[in-house]
Amino acid sequence: MSKKHRSLIFGTVLLITGVVFAYYLSDCQTMSVKKALFPGNQVPDFELKDQDGKNCRLYDFKEKVIVLHFWASWCPPCLEELPAMLNFINNYKNNDTSIKLQWVFIEYDQKWEDAWKVIPNKKYPSQVTLLLDPTNSVAARFGIYKYPETFILSSDFKILHKWVGPQNWLNGNMTVNFQKLLVR
C-alpha cells in the first residue's frame, strides 16, 4: 500500500470521526436544551452543601425571590461576569421592601478551593449563598447548557426570567430592568 493511499485512508477515517463527534456534541446540546427550564416552569428542589459544609435546600428559601446563578471557575465568561455581578449585588438597593431577595450561586467544580481562587478570602456579599455542585447533577436537572446561566425565581419557585450567558451587570439599565423583573 502506497504512502498516498494510506494518507487518503487516514484522512477519510479522521473526517468520519470528526463528523460523528460533531453529531454527538450537537445531540448532547439538543438534549440539554430539551431538558432546559424556561420562564413559567416550576423548578425542582435540590440539596447541596454550602461553603461551610452544611446541607442547603433550594426550598429552604421559601417566601423569597431567588436569583439562582450557575457558574464554574474554569468558565472564562463566568470569570469575566463575576466581578461585575458581585459589584451589582453589593450596590443594588431593593426599593420594594416587601420583596425579600436571596442570591444563590451554584458552582460546578470538584472542590471549594477552585471557587476560592476566583473569590479570594471568601469575600462575597452576605446575601449570597454559595453551593457546590461537584457532579453537575443540579445543573443537569435545570438543563444548563451554557455557563453562566442565571434565573430569577418567584417565592413559589417558578421561573420569572432566565439569562443564558454572561450579562452586563454594570449597565445602568440593569438595575431598572432587574427591579421590573422582581415585581412581576
112-162 pLDDT tens trace: 888 888 876 667 788 899 999 999 999 999 999 889 999 999 989 999 999
Pair 84, 133 in one domain: yes
Pair 31, 51 in one domain: no
Cα distances (angstroms) measured from residue 21 to each of 13, 14, 30, 31: 12, 10, 14, 15
Distance in angstroms (rounded) separating the CA atoms of residues 147 and 95: 30
Number of compact structural domains in the chain? 2
Tell me the per-residue pLDDT of 100-114, one tens digit each, with 9 for 90 and over. 889 999 999 988 888
CB 102 within 8 A of CB 129: yes
Pair 43, 79 in one domain: yes
Domain that holds residue 175: 38-182
Pair 93, 115 in one domain: yes
Pair 112, 23 in one domain: no
Peptide bond into 134 cis (omega under 30): no
Distance in angstroms (rounded) separating the CA atoms of residues 55 and 156: 21
Q: Which three cell numbers stand for residue 181?
A: 423583573
pTM of the full structure: 0.76
Mean pLDDT estimate for the chain: 81
